[in-house]
Amino acid sequence: MSPPDEPTDARRPERQQIDARALVHHLRRLARADDPPWLHAEISRRMAERLPVIKLQPERVLQWSAFLGGSGEDLCQAYPQATQLLVEPVPALRERSLAQHKKKGWWQQVLRAAAEPAVSLPSQAGEGVAQLLWANMYLHLSPDPEALLKLWHRALAVDGFVMFSCLGPDSLRELRPLYEALGWGLPGPEWIDMHDVGDMLVGAGFADPVMDQERITLTWGEPERLLSDLRALGGNLSPARHPGLRSRAWRGRLLQALEGLRGQDGRLQLGLELVYGHAFKPVPKLKVAAETRVSLDQMRTMVRGAGKES
C-alpha cells in the first residue's frame, strides 16, 4: 500500500485485508497436507542464514505456527542447547506438531492453539517466555498484524528478539491484470508494505527494527502445475475475491488465461516479494511524572539493562 504524499505524525499503517473465516478454513486445509508448504523450507533456510548477525544465544525459542513454518530442523541446528517451544494458530495444526514431536523430537513443549484471528497468547506460554520468537511466513496471514506484533512483544523476554518473514504487496502481481480482465475480483490480499511493517514493530514496542526484502521469480512449464503449487501454499484470503464456488468451466478459462504469463523462455512466470524483519524488545521505559513508583522487579530489569550498556 502506498504511503501518502505528505506523511503526518498521525499516520498509521493500514491493516491488510484478510478474510478471517477463510483463514481458519485455509489453516485447517493445510494441516491435512503431508508436508508444510513447499516454499517455506527454503525461506526458513534463508532466515537461518541471518541468525549469525545476532549475538544473543537464546535459552528458549518460541516458534509461531511451527508446522507450516517448516523451521524445526533449522532452529535445532542453530540453537542445539535451547528449549524449543511452539504455538499453533488452530487445533488441527497443534495435532500435526504433536505428531511431529513424537516422530522427530524437535519440541520440548507444544502449547495449545492460539486464538487466531482473535489474537491471544496461550496461558501456558505466559509473558517473557522466550528470548527468540520465530515466525516464518505467517505475518501476512494475520487479519490483525498490529495486535499480533504486540502479542509477540509480550511473549519475548527483555533483550529478546523477534525474527520473521512474510509476503510483500508485490507478490503475484502478474495475476492482478489477468483477474481484472476476466472480472474475477482480486487474486490475493493487499499485503502490507515493508516500511509499514517496520512502523508497526515500533508501535508494538520493539526497538532497532531491521527490514529487508528480496524478489524471486517462480517458473512452471504447465498451468496445471502452477495452480497445484499455489494451492499447496494456501488460498485466496482477500475479502474481495469471487464469492461463489468455482466451476470446471471457470478452471478451464483460468488455465487458458495463465498461458499469457509465459516469458521469452516459454515458461510461465510469477513473482514473489519476500519481506524479512527482526527487532529487539528493549528495557521498558518509565513514564515521567511528579511521583514515580517502581516495583522491585522493574528496578532489577532496569539495573540489568543499564549494566549491559556500560
Cα 112 to Cα 92: distance, rounded to the nearest angstrom: 10
Q: Which one, of 18, 14, 15, lies nearest residue 236 by Cα?
A: 18
Q: Are 24 and 90 in contact (CB under 8 A)?
A: yes
pLDDT at site 198: 96
pLDDT tens for residues 136-152? 999 999 999 999 999 99
Cα 264 to Cα 100: distance, rounded to the nearest angstrom: 43
pLDDT at site 8: 39
Q: Which one, of 271, 261, 272, 174, lies nearest residue 222 by Cα?
A: 261
Cα 130 to Cα 127: distance, rounded to the nearest angstrom: 8
The values of phi and psi at residue 4, to 5°, are -65, 160
- pTM of structure: 0.84
Range list of H helices, 105-211: 145-155, 175-182, 194-203
Q: At what angle do helices 145-155 and 194-203 cross, to 10 degrees?
A: 50
Q: Which one, of 77, 83, 76, lies nearest residue 58 by Cα?
A: 83
Domain ranges of the chain: 20-168+189-217+274-309
Cα 113 to Cα 244: distance, rounded to the nearest angstrom: 30
Grid cell, residue 273, equals 516479494
Q: Which residue has the cell 522487579?
A: 297
Grid cell, residue 65, equals 505456527
pLDDT tens for residues 233-277? 988 999 888 776 677 888 999 999 999 999 999 999 999 999 999
The values of phi and psi at residue 238, to 5°, are -70, 130
172: left (phi over 0), alpha (psi -120 to 50) or beta: left
pLDDT at site 300: 62
pLDDT at site 149: 95
CATH number of 20-168+189-217+274-309: 3.40.50.150
Taking 70 as the pLDDT cut, the residues of the chain under it are: 1-15, 112-126, 244-245, 286-310
Q: Which residue has the cell 523476554?
A: 157
Q: Are 119 and 151 in contact (CB under 8 A)?
A: yes
pLDDT at site 138: 95
pLDDT at site 240: 86
